[in-house]
Each structure stands twice: as structure tokens, then as C-alpha cells.
Amino acid sequence: MKKIGIITYHSAYNYGSVLQAYATQYAVKKLGYDSEIINYRMKEQRKSYALYRMNCGMKSLLKDLMQFPVQDKRKQRVEKFEFFINTKLSLSKECSDLDEIEKIWNDYPIIISGSDQIWNKHSLEMEHNDIKFMYPYLLKGYSGKKVSYASSIANMSDQELEMILFDIKKFDYIAMRELESAKKMTNILDRKIEAVVDPTFLLRKEEWIDNMNIQESKDKDKYILYYSLGGIQPLKENTTVLRKIAQSKGLKIKIVTPFAYIKMDDEIIEMHPEIGPEEFLELIYNARMVVTNSYHGTILAVNLNKDVYSLCENFGSEFRKTDILKRIGLEDRIIYDINSLYNDYEKINYSKVNAVLEFLINNSYGYLKGALANAQGK
């Protein structure tokens, strides 16, 4: 059989994006299929992840300018992402728009669209761009079998969904990443829509460790990892609280925050603007505790069985985070005020969590296996 195509956010300089793309391709391979990620790299996405974002408003540009002192380390990060994308993913030739994609995608008898926020107008990639840039992820004009896996509409309104429903209805198989989204789309489309887990869960902990060559570091369990997608003000406020917690427990703090920088490296705090995807996983693996406002930061920490707290700070991903944490019985790890960590810190009992996850993972593999087999005509 010819290779299956996959189209997703695979080339953003975002840990979750590249790791979910890797995981999707890995899962497809485990099911016995060769695949190729359609290397759609729109110019607008490149601008959204540039060192200095000129098209995302003055606020974003000012944030980037404040990171000038670590410009060289940020360049290292970009190089590491590019290396990961080009060595860990099997890619088609590069395409920058729908016209170029249409020249190659009929080579694929089946295309998987997903995962990630590919159908969300409010994702970083789409927020400042016309809806037409979503067309490749909607497989608009593609004549083969269309399979959706863990596609996310996140917090799209009904009015916004109307703009893309015509194309979604043409999918042969649809599975949403969030349970509430699956229920919503079931009602809208009047057909059963599955809810599956994010593909990063399709690799178990041991597979991530082996595939990414994760090593146990000399400072294992000796630091708190704080991964933030927020700006400077929450970084300042949250770090003040975390510093006190770290000092009380004899720990250090390692900070990864792509969109903000404050010079604060000292005997307790280390800033890490330079790390790539594999190093990011290793930082999670070796941490005593993970505190993050990121969706993928949260679920990767869960997958690696770390004590994690998921901060809800109104950055748009709360619905996505709370959805999965409630499904696996970890809603008590959702925090709305970081000060609650003073009294709330305790270890997670992962035996029950992993049992629930295993059930959800097996169901998700079952959906993907069935969709691909049926699409192939087996």
C-alpha cells in the first residue's frame, strides 16, 4: 500500500506540536502503516514563531525584544527544533500553500488530519490569519479517504464552526481530542463522533524514554520545573511563590518559558531558553514536580508520571487541560491560584490514573486501527 499522509502542526517551535506529530506518526507505524507528514509550512506560521514576531501585534513584539539578552540561546532552540523536525519526522517535500499541497496529496490514498488545534481559529497559527489557511487541515479538495485523529476545535463558537462544518462533514472518520467537543460535534453532525486521547499518550512512558534517549540526570528529583506560555508579569508572580516553595523543600527551579525572559539565574533559579524537544522531555522526567499552564506540558508530565500542577491562567487552553484531567481523575491538580501550592502539595498515586489511561489509550488505538483498516477497504 502507498504511504498514508498526515497533516498537523508539526513544524511549530512548540514542544507539544512537534512531539504530538512524532507520536502520531509512531502510532501509525505501530499499526503497520508507512506514513509521511505533509510538510505544510505556511509563511504565516513561520512569522508566528520568529525570534521577533512582527505580525502578532506590538505586545508580542515587545515581549520578544525583552528577550534580546538571550538571543543566542533562543537561536539554539530554533536550531534544535529544526533538527528534530528534519530527523525525527518522515516528511514530504515542503509546501507553503494549498496549491502546492494539491500537487502531492492525491499520492496518498488516506490522509489523517490531526492532532492538535488544527480546527481552532484561535490557535497561535490561525489567530491572526484568514480561515483559508485552515483549508489544508480540513483536506479541502482532497478526494481520498479522510480520517481525523484528535482534532481540536478548542473554544470555537458555533458561529465560527459554521465556517468549517461543510468540510468537516466530508470526513469519513472523525475523532476529537476533547470529550466535550466530541459530544458537541455528535449533536451538530448527527453522527457518532469519537473522543480519543492526545497522540502523545499513544507512547507509553517507557517508549518515550527509549525513543528520545532520556537519561537520568545528576539532579533528578532535586528541582521544580516551571513551564510557562505566559508573559512577564505571571512569570514574576509565579516565580516568587515557587521560590519560597523550593526553598522550603531544598529544591531548585528550572524555568522554560518561550515568550518571556527575566534575568534571574541564581543559586535557586535557572532559566532555560535554549532547550529542544528531547531536552524538554528529559527536564520533565527528572523533575520532582512540574508546574505549568501548558496543555502539552500538563499531559506529558502525566504520561511520565510526575507530580504535576496545571495552572489555569486564562490563556485559552483551560478547557483543553481540564477536559483530560477530569477524564483521568486528576481534576484536583488544576489550580487557579498558585498560592494554593503552599498547602496543597502532595504526590499523585499513579496506579489508578494509569489504569484509566490504559483504557483510554486502547480505545484510541482501536479507533485509529479501525478507521485506517476501513478506509483501506480491509
* pLDDT at res. 370: 98
* pLDDT at res. 313: 79
Please, are residues 28 and 16 in contact by the beta-carbon 8 Å criterion?
no
* pLDDT at res. 211: 98
Rg, Å, the chain Cα set: 20
Closest CA to 283 of 202, 212, 198: 212
pLDDT tens figures, 260-306: 777 776 889 999 989 999 999 999 999 999 999 999 999 999 999 99
Query: Stretch 50-57: mean pLDDT, rounded?
Result: 56
Helices 277-286, 295-303: axis angle to 10 degrees equals 60
Distance CA 358, CA 341 (A): 29
* pLDDT at res. 242: 94
Distance CA 376, CA 378 (A): 6
Using pLDDT thresholds of 50, 70 and 90, give the confidence band for residue 350.
Answer: very high
Rounded percentage of the chain residues whose pLDDT exceeds 90? 71
Query: Is residue 176 pLDDT above 80, yes or no?
Result: yes
Amino acid type, 314: N
The DSSP output letter for 177 is S
Task: Please state the pTM of the whole predicted model.
Answer: 0.93
pLDDT tens figures, 85-102: 999 999 999 998 889 999
* pLDDT at res. 154: 83
Copy the grid coordinates of residue 297.
506540558
End-to-end CA distance of the chain: 12
Query: Stretch 254-264: mean pLDDT, rounded?
Result: 82
Helix/strand/coil for 250: coil
Using pLDDT thresholds of 50, 70 and 90, give the confidence band for residue 123.
Answer: confident
What sign has the CA pseudo-torsion 324, 40, 138, 35?
negative
Q: What are phi and psi of 249, to 5 degrees?
A: -110, 5
Query: Is residue 333 pLDDT above 90, yes or no?
Result: yes
Query: Stretch 337-352: mean pLDDT, rounded?
Result: 85
| Structural domains of the chain in order of their starting residue, each with its CATH number | 4-203+358-376 (3.40.50), 205-347 (3.40.50.2000)
Lowest mean pLDDT among 282-291, 323-332, 340-349: 340-349
